[in-house]
Amino acid sequence: MTVLTILTSDRRGRPAVLDTLDAEVRWAHADTLADALPGTDALLLWDFFSTALQDALPAADRLRWVHAASAGIDTLRFPGLLSARDVTVTNAHGIFDQAIAEYVLGVVFTFAKDSVRSLDLQRAHVWQRRETETVAGTRALVVGVGGIGRRIARLLRGLGVRVEGAGTRARAGDDDFAVIHDSVDLTDHVGGVDWVINAAPLTEETRGLFDRDVFAAMKPTARFVSIGRGESTVTGDLLDALHRGAIAGAGLDVVDPEPLPAGHPLWDAPHTLITAHLSGDTQGWNERLLDQFVDHWRRWRAGEPFPQTVDLQAGYVRG
């Protein structure tokens, strides 16, 4: 019989629908994963933040498919799995696109309409008329031109924003972006935009990508919005840019370190909005993850191809 092992945690629980699949289902926690992997054909990382697979992988003797119930797959890019040519990797591609794009729009409007200041004035019972900003006619650069980045671009364009992209190579003639720049040349392209949006996967190339040079090249009226991975931003450089007024603000759903310690200076950085890595967690997201995995499972059992697979070497699903 086909064996499916599911890595979960006390927080993630055991969705009952997974026990109804046509397989021997084994449930494991991080400390028992190695014991469950021998004989396992497919592995579902329901506890998608866990790094347990890296140490447990040598126990997998017939593993053919790994599915991560997350958009990011940086925790899977370790040597053992990168060299396992006979293991297919899939992820939650497409599940979080709309939710995260809506979150980015919310951050853009929060800054443009000075919403935090409005709440402060309301709490102080102060009636103060003032001007706010218009979003239409501004320019955005979305770094990361995968599914999430593209959905962000489409929603921003619907508001009248000119949207450019940055990815692994420069190109023109794209349906979603006015132009796509090479992210290696990021400092050459951030100076003319009002919104720099980090939607990049975490790879060797993007780790520490948003650094002192990038923030120095941005306009002092521009804002930085980050929903990719916290490690792609050099936190100390971002703090310095915010305190010096080199940029006008930051909306951060991902940070480094994460979770952000209570005493960390980023909490009190000027003009900064911080949320707890929740941009994709809209109502029903667990059910959508389950539906996607069950669909993938049925395709796999029927010998049909997956809708998409992860290129582990690149660090993302290729379009």
89 and 149 belong to one structural domain:
no
58 and 111 belong to one structural domain:
no
Assign 318 a pLDDT band (cuts: 50, 70, 90). Answer: confident
Q: In this predicted structure, what is the pLDDT of residue 88?
A: 98
128 and 26 belong to one structural domain:
no
293 and 184 belong to one structural domain:
no
Find residue 166's DSSP bridge partners. 143, 181
Task: Check pLDDT > 80 for residue 2.
Answer: yes
Task: Check pLDDT > 80 for residue 1.
Answer: yes
- pLDDT, one tens digit per residue, over 212-267 is 999 999 999 999 999 999 999 999 999 999 999 999 999 999 999 999 999 999 99
**Mean pLDDT over residues 108-126, rounded?**
98
Q: Can you give the pTM of this predicted structure?
A: 0.94
Q: In this predicted structure, what is the pLDDT of residue 95?
A: 97
36 and 86 belong to one structural domain:
yes
Report yes or no on 317 lying in a domain: no
209 and 70 belong to one structural domain:
no
**Mean pLDDT over residues 101-123, rounded?**
98
Annotation marks residue 117 as catalytic: no
Largest CA distance in the chain: 69
102 and 226 belong to one structural domain:
yes
From 26, 93, 223, 277, the catalytic residue? 277
From 258, 271, 288, 299, the catalytic residue? 258
Report yes or no on 164 lying in a domain: yes
Residue among 246, 269, 245 at smallest CA distance from 255: 269
225 and 144 belong to one structural domain:
yes
Helix 97-112 vs helix 147-158: crossing angle, to nearest 10: 40
49 and 183 belong to one structural domain:
no
CATH of the domain at 173: 3.40.50.720
Where are the extended beta strands (E) located within 19-176?
Answer: 24-28, 42-45, 65-68, 88-90, 139-143, 162-167
- pLDDT, one tens digit per residue, over 146-192 is 999 999 999 999 999 999 999 999 999 899 999 999 999 999 999 99
Assign 83 a pLDDT band (cuts: 50, 70, 90). Answer: very high
Task: Check pLDDT > 70 for residue 319.
Answer: no
Annotation marks residue 133 as catalytic: no
Task: Check pLDDT > 80 for residue 29.
Answer: yes
52 and 104 belong to one structural domain:
no
Report yes or no on 182 lying in a domain: yes
Euclidean distance between CA atoms 239 and 294, whole angstroms = 43
Euclidean distance between CA atoms 183 and 274, whole angstroms = 25
Report yes or no on 319 lying in a domain: no
Name the residue range of residue 289's domain. 3-95+283-301
Report yes or no on 307 lying in a domain: no
Which of the listed residues 257, 274, 291 is the one where a domain comes to its end? Answer: 274
Report yes or no on 315 lying in a domain: no
Tokens representing 81 are: 């799995």
Residue among 238, 234, 255, 256 at smallest CA distance from 247: 238
53 and 103 belong to one structural domain:
no
From 93, 150, 229, 296, the catalytic residue? 229
Report yes or no on 312 lying in a domain: no
Q: How many domains does the chain have?
A: 2
Least confident of 46-50, 97-101, 123-127: 46-50
- pLDDT, one tens digit per residue, over 32-55 is 999 999 999 999 999 998 999 999
Task: Check pLDDT > 70 for residue 114.
Answer: yes
Residue 224 parent element (H or E): strand 223-226
Annotation marks residue 181 as catalytic: no
76 and 113 belong to one structural domain:
no
Per the prediction, the chain carries an average pLDDT of 97
- pLDDT, one tens digit per residue, over 196-211 is 999 999 999 999 999 9
Q: Express as a percent the part of the chain with pLDDT over 90.
A: 98
Q: Express as a percent the part of the chain with pLDDT over 70.
A: 100
Report yes or no on 208 lying in a domain: yes
